[in-house]
Structure 1
Amino acid sequence: MKLKSKLKSAFVQPFSCMMLSILAVMGISPLVLAVPARVSLHTPEEDTYKEPQKLAQLGADSPERSQLLQQANALYNQGDFKDAEENLRKFIKKFPEDAFGHFQLGNALFQQKKSEEAISVYREAIRLQPKYALAYNAIGMAYASQSRWQEAITEYKKALEINPNYGEALTNFALAMWQTNKKDEALSSLEKALNIFKEQNRGEKVNQVERILREIKTADEPSVS
């Protein structure tokens, strides 16, 4: 299988091991190579690296809000995305101005391959929280899942305008650039993501990015008989 095909097959599943951001990310959270393996809707570790998401969770918190999110999170982690979606819709009825709730609903929809619905919900999260870099990255991942690379690139750029050190978005942006035959830009973005993940002591992300870098760098080298 050609490298681009391999990268694409990994990339269009944003919450798989290669994606943050995501996917897990989305992860991420969509993230993002957004997330390693399946990402929960919300974890303290994600907050450490994703300030826009952390900000979205602040304020207007309550025991009821926390309980509803925990219930949705448990369903999501079990792979029950349909019920997670149902719980999150109930959550949004109670907390319609909660950007984080809309973001998480987008994640549940995306996992069910409802990309267009997910994009709409992510955009609502951005309307409520304009500096929501994770949501922009997630929209980029949704477009990427449809091979709409230029639209994905536009969204990743918006995420990076908000947070230039957003490693998952840098990685996703690099993969989209590679898909559009812009190898130098892809390598540059991956190198920056690698340095950021190293500074954050995120070993799994470091290993993933290093692997992608090796594959891209050797992609055009002639094979040895």
Structure 2
Amino acid sequence: MKLKSKPKSAFVQPFSCMMLSIITVMGISPLVLAVPGQVSLHSPEQSAQRQPQKIAQASGTDTPERSQILQQVNALYNQGDFKGAEENLRKFIKKFPEDAFGHFQLGNALFQQKKPEDAISSYREAIRLQPKYALAYNAIGMAYASQSRWQEAITEYKKALEINPNYGEALTNFALAMWQTNKKDEALSSLEKALNIFKSQNRGEKVNQVERILKEIKTADEPGVS
């Protein structure tokens, strides 16, 4: 897909959609693969089918009951049964109301059901319980981005990056929001930083995604590109 030349005074939409797929957790060890999404050139439905998401578990806080519920959620999530995952997560939260991770994952399940406001509420609760939850701030940003609420999204991405300046996915999301608000230089700078981070982590798929986005943004204003 080629991008059209960027208007000089209007918001632009250089990508077919802002998709949220799997994010590798950074800065909250030892969680892995927890968030509903990162930027991709595919729809959420396509990504969910191609990359089943796994529910992370925090070592040191597990009980057999906690692990069992999370395993059930994981299975439902991988099957694309986000409503079922939501129901199990609500049961989980009743048993573990102070578990920030449970609220965060409930936000993920709600987001996948296209309920961004409900998702944001769950992410906010996770942050209340764990104030340095960079992933939750990033996820709130993505929920705002899904509604084209770019300035609000930018605010949340900045909060995530204040906690973890090397959070590659937040840098990428921030860059796309900046591009949507006609701040090309800031977008390119953030993408270059994200690219270097992903390269240092040997994350080839993310490197390829960011390189593709960089190429499209850099060529968007070239004469004859449409």
TM-score normalised by the shorter chain: which range applies? 0.7 to 0.9
In 2: Cα distance, 1:22 partner to 1:148 partner: 24
Of 33, 36, 40, the match for 2:53: 40
Is contact 2:34-2:53 (8 Å) kept? no
Call closer, same or farther: CA 1:31–1:224 in 2, change over 3 Å: closer
Structure 1 regions of 5+ residues with no counterpart?
44-53
Is contact 2:3-2:225 (8 Å) kept? no
In 1: Cα distance, 2:23 partner to 2:203 partner: 14
1:114 equivalent in structure 2:
115
- The aligned amino acid for 1:155 is E
Call closer, same or farther: CA 1:35–1:41 in 2, change over 3 Å: farther
1:85 equivalent in structure 2:
86
Deviation, structure 1 residue 155 = 0.2
- The aligned amino acid for 1:117 is D
Structure 2 regions of 5+ residues with no counterpart?
5-11, 26-32
2:35 equivalent in structure 1:
29
- Higher fraction of helix: 1
The TM-score, its normalising length taken from structure 1, stands at: 0.84
Deviation, structure 1 residue 132 = 0.4
What whole-Å deviation, never above 9, does each CA across 1:141-167 have from its counterpart, x for those lacking one? 000000000000000000000000000
2:141 equivalent in structure 1:
140
2:164 equivalent in structure 1:
163
**Stretches (4+) displaced over 6 A:** none
Percent identity for Structure 1 against Structure 2: 77
The structure, 1 or 2, with the larger RCO (C-alpha pairs under 8 Å, 6+ apart) is 2
Q: How many residues align?
A: 204
Call closer, same or farther: CA 1:34–1:138 in 2, change over 3 Å: farther
1:129 equivalent in structure 2:
130
Deviation, structure 1 residue 172 = 0.2
Deviation, structure 1 residue 106 = 0.3
Of 11, 14, 18, the match for 2:20: 14
In 1: Cα distance, 2:75 partner to 2:61 partner: 22
Q: Does 1:178 align with 2:179?
A: yes
The TM-score, its normalising length taken from structure 2, stands at: 0.83
Is contact 2:20-2:40 (8 Å) kept? yes
Is contact 1:14-1:33 (8 Å) kept? yes
Across the aligned residues of Structure 1 and Structure 2, the Cα RMSD in angstroms comes to: 2.4
In 2: Cα distance, 1:156 partner to 1:30 partner: 15
Deviation, structure 1 residue 196 = 0.3
Call closer, same or farther: CA 1:2–1:210 in 2, change over 3 Å: closer
- The aligned amino acid for 2:65 is E
Call closer, same or farther: CA 1:34–1:211 in 2, change over 3 Å: closer
